[in-house]
Every structure is written in structure tokens, then in C-alpha cells.
Amino acid sequence: MNQKIEDKVTVIKESLHTAGLDISEQKNGIRLKLDSGYHIDIFTLTNSPGQIRARIKIEEPDPLRRQAYVESTQNSLSRALNGVASVEPFHMSREVGGEYFYNSVLELEDICSDNEPIEVSRDAVEVLDDSEPANDLVVDAAAEFEFDFDLKEDNQLKIVKTLAEEAIEKLETVDAKMLRRSLDMMSLKRSSAVRLAVTRIFRSAMEVEEIEQAIQNEAKKIVTPEDRMELQAVKALSTNGFLAPVVDLLWQEVFNDEY
């Protein structure tokens, strides 16, 4: 996470802490625990790092009670961040197994500070590249461009974190009906091993670790030549669609031993 975004999340964290709320550190952000037992995750997006998102997961089947709870949560968060950040209305992104996910975008208000990080333009970066880099720049560049092709003991490639995060972000914008329609358009039978694998992965798309584990589990079930040919076809058909990162991860895991 770059320094500018880290500072934004830190400002939000400190404001919530000042309001006396229960906060814990999470990957790419923070988690705010609510008195109801639910929590709000506040984090940055991999494919849009300048955006701060808030997400709540609710297990309430009644839509009116659920909406009332969402609005109450939004009002409480807005009050806690008054003068610091605006909170857009929460909108439901998906429902999985009786759990309803709502997302909102937080916009940090302009606050001038002598300590505000300086943003370096791309032109400036190119100029720095022509000069002898400082030690810190060398370390940062190494971390940024480190290839994620570490081999496990079973000689399978490690799943790329950024692709797994992208898969989750894509699937958060899709519901079960949209997924079924997309799979139907690919002419996948309901009994198709690839279709069943993608559907189960969709239901597991909560956290990076969970989707990685689901990918590995489902890849072991795609073993016949017919299933593998079907996966190849789905990969070609899903290019640039919301299923692209999921299918790419599944394809990578299935065909690791061949490359």
C-alpha cells in the first residue's frame, strides 16, 4: 500500500479510535467492531488504490430490518468521521448463503497539513531512474517487482496474491443470478466439473486465503482430458469478464505441472 493511502487509512483509524470505537488492524485496512456483533471492514482496493471502501456483512433475512440496520450503521459511521471523511450510502453487492454484503466508498475530506506526503509524478520517477538510486529506492523497487513464482514442495506455482484479490473484488459486484447467466452463456452443463468448480469458488470468495484454498481444492477435481479442454475453452470465453481472474487462477493451478 503506498504511503499516501496508508496515511488516509491512518486518519480514518485515528478518528474512529478518538470516537471510542473498537478497532483492529486488518490486511490493507482496519476492522471496526459494532455493538451488534457485526463489523465494518475499511480497506483499499487493489485495482483502485486511491479508493477507500467500507464493507459490512449482515445475516438478516428480512429486507426492511436489514436496510434499517444498514442505514443506522452508515449514520453512526458518518457521525464518527464527521469533518474527516464522507460516507456514501451502502449498497448491497451480493448475497451468499444467507449473508448479505454491503459496500460504501469513503472520501477523505481535504485537510491541509505540513506533514502531508508529497506525491511524485511519473515524470519525476523517470528522472530518478536516470540517476543513481538511493538504497531505499532500490529496496522499494525490489519489493514492488518481486516475481511471485516461488515453488512449493509439490512443485506447484504459488497463487499470485494480486490476482486473488482482483478475483474477490470482481465477484463482489456479482450475485448468484448473474453468475448462473454467465455460465449458461458459455453453454456449460449444470453437471460440468468446471461449472461446479467456479460456483463453489464464488461461494468462497470472502477473503484471499479462502479463495486460494478453494482454487486449490477445485483444481484437484478437474482431472479428465474433457474437463481440462472445457476449462481451456472457458478461459478463452471469459477474457476481460468478471470471471477472468477466477478462471485464470483455476487454470494456473490445474496446469501448473505442465509448465
Query: In 10 A of CB 30, how many CB atoms?
Result: 18
Distance of CA 99 to the CA centre of its chain: 17
Whether 156 has a pLDDT exceeding 70, the answer reads: no
Q: Give tens-digit pLDDT for 35-53.
A: 777 889 998 876 666 678 8
Share of the chain above pLDDT 70, in %: 74
Q: For 2, list phi and psi in degrees, rounded to 5.
A: -75, 165
pLDDT at residue number 146: 37
Q: For 43, list phi and psi in degrees, rounded to 5.
A: -155, 170
CA-based nearest residue to 105, from 124, 81, 122, 86: 86
pLDDT at residue number 46: 65
Q: Which CATH number fits domain 3-108: 3.40.1350, 1.10.540, 3.30.1460, 1.20.120?
A: 3.30.1460
pLDDT band at 257 (very low <50, low <70, confident <90, very high): low
CA-based nearest residue to 81, from 30, 6, 11: 11
pLDDT at residue number 182: 87
Q: Could you tell me which residues come within 8 angstroms of residue 221 by beta carbon, excluding any fewer than 6 positions away?
A: 193, 196, 197
Whether 134 has a pLDDT exceeding 50, the answer reads: no
**Per mean pLDDT, which range of 30-39, 115-124, 200-209, 231-240 is the poorest?**
115-124
Q: For 253, list phi and psi in degrees, rounded to 5.
A: -70, -40
Grid coordinates given for 35:
455493538
CA dist 25 and 56 (Å) reads 16
| pTM (two decimals) | 0.45
pLDDT at residue number 174: 79
Q: Could you tell me which residues come within 8 angstroms of residue 22 by beta carbon, excluding any fewer than 6 positions away?
A: 32, 33
Q: Could you tell me which residues come within 8 angstroms of residue 105 by beta carbon, excluding any fewer than 6 positions away?
A: 51, 52, 53, 54, 88
What residue segments make up the domains of the chain, in order of their start?
3-108, 161-258
Q: How confident is the model over 236-243, as a mean pLDDT?
A: 82
